[in-house]
Structure 1
Amino acid sequence: MKLAHRTEVNASPDVVWTFLQDTPAVVECMPGAELVDDLGGDRYEGVLHVAFGPLKMNYVGRAAVVERDAGEHRIVIDASGRDRRGSGSVQAHVRVQVAPAESGSRIDVVSDLDLTGRIASLGRGIRDVSNQMFGQFADELVSRIEGPTREPLRAAPSPNGATATMIRPQRPADAGSEIKVLPLVWAVTRQRIADFLERLSVRVRPN
């Protein structure tokens, strides 16, 4: 399954790129994600907590940055994980690209996913759930980059020799908690019902 998402940030590409180099900060933006260990060599171990009604899945796995191109502002990541109870697995190939935009920067994320087990039973709905999850991730990412300054983030040199300095705000108290998939599915379903009723009212409306 291939998914594509985009968000814009009111900051220069160099500033956004600097933030993306801080892996723990980026992971903190992901709903349900927890960084367990830095294995070195751009390899990491982590857990993804997902709750679907009464079902709870905890995917334990590893991720590796296979490409980090500072000149092109591009990161490519391979990741894989398996549910602790053996109910399925996830493999992902993710490409993150930062580019200039009218508002400052545009972040494009393209993911190729291979799902098995209970998570795969969502079928086509996983695309809608993914869109909702990315929206939460993008909101937190933008908030940290554009938000108030608290904890300094390590600076990184830009291609032109200047230094782009980012500031990291404190992590929200509820960050890193499990992904509540059921509310996301309900939000998507409710919108679809509303769209259907609106189309139906147009059809039956008298001339």
Structure 2
Amino acid sequence: MELTETHTLPVTQERAWEALNDASILKACIPGCDSIEAEGENAYAVAMTAAVGPVKARFKGRMELTNIDAPRTYTIVFEGQGGAAGFSKGSATVHLEPGDDADSTKLSYTANAQVGGKLAQIGSRLVDGAARKIAAEFFKRFGAQLQGDQAPQDAAAEGNGDAPDAPEEQDVQQKGKKSWTAWISKS
């Protein structure tokens, strides 16, 4: 599976770089992430829950940052085990460059991943779709984190006007139905 996307972030390149290297921000932004803990220089232990089609599992794994050229680029190498659900491994190359104005940054990435076990058996369309949804939710949350408290208020104004308590509830209120992210987070 390969996934390539570009996003414009509402902060300077230096601030985007800092946020991409802040474990607490990443934990808040990765759907289903239970923990990210430093495991040496540029290495982290990660635990998360994910669902792909009918397969739902808690994954434990490791990610390492390589080819670091701050504040422009790095490569994330990752691997995870989900017990009977299978495994995943791969890498993502992330590039940051100044945006169209002084207070924005263009982030682009290319991720390659392999899955095995039950995950591989359910088919690449479901796996690719789930990966795209996780990435979309990550960037939605990441943008909100970078903007501070503005994003939840803006999202509430677009919805029914009541400020929701959690990002998962925002998804439910904005879309009018439960999203898969809310289902993962509350299980």
Task: Give the TM-score normalised by structure 1.
Answer: 0.66
Contact 1:28/1:34 (<8 A) preserved: no
Q: Structure 1 regions of 5+ residues with no counterpart?
A: 150-170, 184-207
2:38 is matched with 38
Task: Choose between structure 1 and 2: higher helix proportion.
Answer: 2
Q: Which has more radius of gyration? A: 1
1:83 is matched with 82
Alignment partners' CA distance in 1, 2:67 and 2:24: 18
Alignment partners' CA distance in 2, 1:117 and 1:94: 22
What is the Cα deviation at residue 142 of structure 1? Answer: 0.6
Alignment partners' CA distance in 2, 1:13 and 1:90: 30
Q: Which has the higher contact order (CA 8 A, sep 6+)?
A: 1
Deviations along 1:117-165, whole A, 9 cap, x unmatched? 222223223222222221110011111111239xxxxxxxxxxxxxxxx
Q: What is the one-letter code of the residue matched to 1:34?
A: D
1:141 is matched with 142
What is the Cα deviation at residue 68 of structure 1? Answer: 1.9
What is the Cα deviation at residue 54 of structure 1? Answer: 5.8
Q: What is the one-letter code of the residue matched to 1:137?
A: F
Contact 2:76/2:92 (<8 A) preserved: yes
Query: What are the equivalent positions in structure 2 for 1:156-195 lying under 5 Å apart?
Result: 172=166, 180=180
Query: What are the equivalent positions in structure 2 for 1:62-141 lying under 5 Å apart?
Result: 62-71=62-71, 73-84=72-83, 86-102=84-100, 104-120=104-120, 121-141=122-142
2:161 is matched with none
Q: What is the one-letter code of the residue matched to 2:142?
A: L
- SS, match of residue 40 in structure 1: coil
2:159 is matched with none
Structure 1 residues 22 and 114 mapped into 2: Cα distance closer, same or farther (>3 Å)?
Answer: same
Alignment partners' CA distance in 1, 2:6 and 2:123: 23
Contact 1:50/1:180 (<8 A) preserved: no
Deviations along 1:143-197, whole A, 9 cap, x unmatched? 1111239xxxxxxxxxxxxxxxxxxxxx95759xxx937x8xxxxxxxxxxxxxx
Structure 1 residues 30 and 61 mapped into 2: Cα distance closer, same or farther (>3 Å)?
Answer: same
CA-based RMSD of the aligned residues comes to 2.9
- SS, match of residue 133 in structure 1: helix
What is the Cα deviation at residue 2 of structure 1? Answer: 1.3
1:205 is matched with none
Alignment partners' CA distance in 1, 2:89 and 2:15: 30
What is the Cα deviation at residue 55 of structure 1? Answer: 3.9
The number of equivalent residue pairs is 158
Task: Choose between structure 1 and 2: higher strand proportion.
Answer: 1
